[in-house]
Amino acid sequence: MNNTDPASTRPLPPGPPLPPEQPGTAHTATGQPGPAAPGGGTLTATQVSAWFGSNKVLEGVDLDMDAGQVTALIGPSGCGKSTFLRILNRMHELVPTASLAGSVLLDGEDIYGRTLRVTQVRRHIGMVFQKPNPFPAMSIADNVAAGLKLTGTKAANRSELIEESLRRAGLWNEVKGRLRDAAGGLSGGQQQRLCIARSLTVRPDVLLMDEPCSALDPTSTRRIEETIDELRGQVTIVIVTHNMQQAQRVSQRCAFFLAAENEPGRIVESGPTTTIFESPKDSRTSDYVHGRFG
* Contact set with another protein (CB under 8 A): 1, 4-5, 7-8, 89, 91, 94, 96, 119-124, 126-127, 129, 131-138, 146-147, 149-151, 182, 184, 188, 191, 195, 198-199, 202
Q: Which residues pair with 56 in a beta bridge?
A: 51
Interacting residues of 233 by C-beta distance below 8 A, sequence separation 6+: 33, 39, 68
Q: How far apart are CA 87 and CA 112, in angstroms?
A: 10
Of the pair 151, 157, the CB lying nearest another protein is at 151
What percent of the chain is helix, strand and coil (3-state, nearest 5)?
35, 25, 40
Least gap, CB of 2 to another protein (angstroms): 9
Least gap, CB of 49 to another protein (angstroms): 23
Of the pair 181, 263, the CB lying nearest another protein is at 181
Least gap, CB of 257 to another protein (angstroms): 21
Least gap, CB of 150 to another protein (angstroms): 4
Handedness of CA 243, 244, 249, 251 (dihedral sign): positive
Least gap, CB of 97 to another protein (angstroms): 10
Least gap, CB of 16 to another protein (angstroms): 25
Of the pair 211, 269, the CB lying nearest another protein is at 211
- Decide if 207 contacts 234 (C-beta within 8 A): no
The phi-psi region of residue 277 (left if phi > 0; otherwise alpha if psi is between -120 and 50; otherwise beta) is alpha
Of the pair 78, 184, the CB lying nearest another protein is at 184
Least gap, CB of 105 to another protein (angstroms): 19
| CA angle (266, 272, 273) in 5-degree steps | 85
Of the pair 220, 248, the CB lying nearest another protein is at 220
Q: Which residues pair with 189 in a beta bridge?
A: none
Q: Could you give the dihedral angle defined by the CA atoms of residues 259, 90, 213 and 76, in that order, rounded to the nearest 10 degrees?
A: 0
Q: How far apart are CA 214 and CA 202, in angstroms?
A: 25
